[in-house]
Amino acid sequence: MKAKYKFLFGAVLVGGTVGFLMTSGIKETGVYFLTPSELAAKVSADPSFHDVGVKMGARVVHGSITRNVGTQTITFQVTDGTQTYPVVYRGLAPDTFTDDVDVVVEGRLEPDGTFRATTLLAKCGSRYETTPQA
């Protein structure tokens, strides 16, 4: 076998292996991203959906944030305007986490309707916008 064909065979083998590992890794770590309304529809269609890890994007309901400093637990509600879910998160919140901010929470929906978040991300919309010039 010529060296050229050996190199091509090796390159295809390495490329195929890397591609396989990438796709299998993405499938294992991929998580659904839903709005509260989509999550409610999924749960009503399939009650076993409570045990599935999910990401939910929504807006924090104004005045719903409660912090327990001793246990580092934050409870709040999120909504998309149609459906609202209570969220419990244990950990440190981002600096941009306030009322009416868009958040992405990752975790599991409990059978009682409470979303137990393991990750909390807050968007920082207007914080980096330019101010109007007078």
How do residues 29-42 score in pLDDT, each as one tens digit?
665 679 999 999 98
Q: Does the residue 132 lie in any domain?
A: no
How do residues 61-108 score in pLDDT, each as one tens digit?
999 999 998 999 999 999 999 999 999 999 998 888 999 899 999 999
Q: Does the residue 58 lie in any domain?
A: yes
CA 80, 83, 84, 85 dihedral sign is negative
The answer on 115 and 76 residing in a single domain is yes
* Structural domain range at position 26: 1-30
Q: Does the residue 1 lie in any domain?
A: yes
- Return the top range by mean pLDDT from 18-32, 46-60, 120-134: 46-60
Position 133 scores a pLDDT of 58
The answer on 47 and 84 residing in a single domain is yes
pLDDT at 125 over 80: no
The answer on 78 and 35 residing in a single domain is yes
The answer on 64 and 25 residing in a single domain is no
Across 60-99, b (16+ Cβ under 10 Å) vs e yields bbeeebeeeeeeeebebbbbbeeebbebbbeeebeeebee
Overall number of domains in the chain: 2
Here the CATH number for the domain that contains residue 86 is 2.40.50.140
CA distance 64 to 112: 18
Q: Does the residue 67 lie in any domain?
A: yes
pTM of the model: 0.70
